[in-house]
Amino acid sequence: MSNKIYLSIDGVVLPVEPKRGYDLKLDDSESVNETEAGTYIRSVQRSGIPSIGVNFWCNREMLVQMRGFRDATSVTVKFYDPVVEEDSEGNRLVTELMYVTGYQESMLADTEDGGFWSVKFSLEDLSYV
């Protein structure tokens, strides 16, 4: 994995990169309504609404952190966006307030220090809810 940061939650950098445990979708919110006269009006309320699919393996220590994020009402997420200006560390990160949904975990291996785990969840934009 490269040294670039692709995703962090509340300052915790996750061990993911595009097509390897990280899937970013930036969709538009729009509506199309028919008027009484029979014409259609299309309005875009907001463009680029982030939705991030996350899937990775972790140890017990990171699993505890992920469970904390699962139970939180909101988390601050920084995610990679190639269009954004680079920061002082060379990363192109956007910060959004999001929430965790669809959280799943399963043990891959039992070890002396708490096991090796697979964690899967989605991050959804909270400012649009």
pLDDT per residue as tens, the chain (129 positions):
457 788 999 999 998 887 788 888 877 666 778 888 888 887 766 667 788 899 999 999 999 999 999 999 999 999 988 888 888 888 888 899 999 999 999 999 888 888 889 999 999 988 755
Note the pLDDT of residue 71: 92
98, part of any domain: yes
* The model's pTM: 0.76
How far, in Å, CA of 92 to CA of 61, rounded? 27
Residues with Cβ within 8 Å of residue 4, at least 6 apart in sequence? 17, 80, 90, 91
- Residue at 102 is within a domain: yes
Q: How many domains does the chain have?
A: 1
On whether residue 1 sits in a domain, the answer given is no
| 2 in any annotated domain | no
pLDDT score at 34:
83
What are 9-19's pLDDT values in tens digits? Answer: 999 999 888 77
**What residue numbers bound the domain in which 58 lies?**
7-125
In a domain, 48, yes or no: yes
pLDDT tens for 90-114 read 888 889 999 999 999 999 988 888 8
Q: Does 24 map to a domain?
A: yes
Q: Assess if residue 27 is contained within a domain.
A: yes
Nearest 5 degrees, angle CA 91-CA 93-CA 94? 165
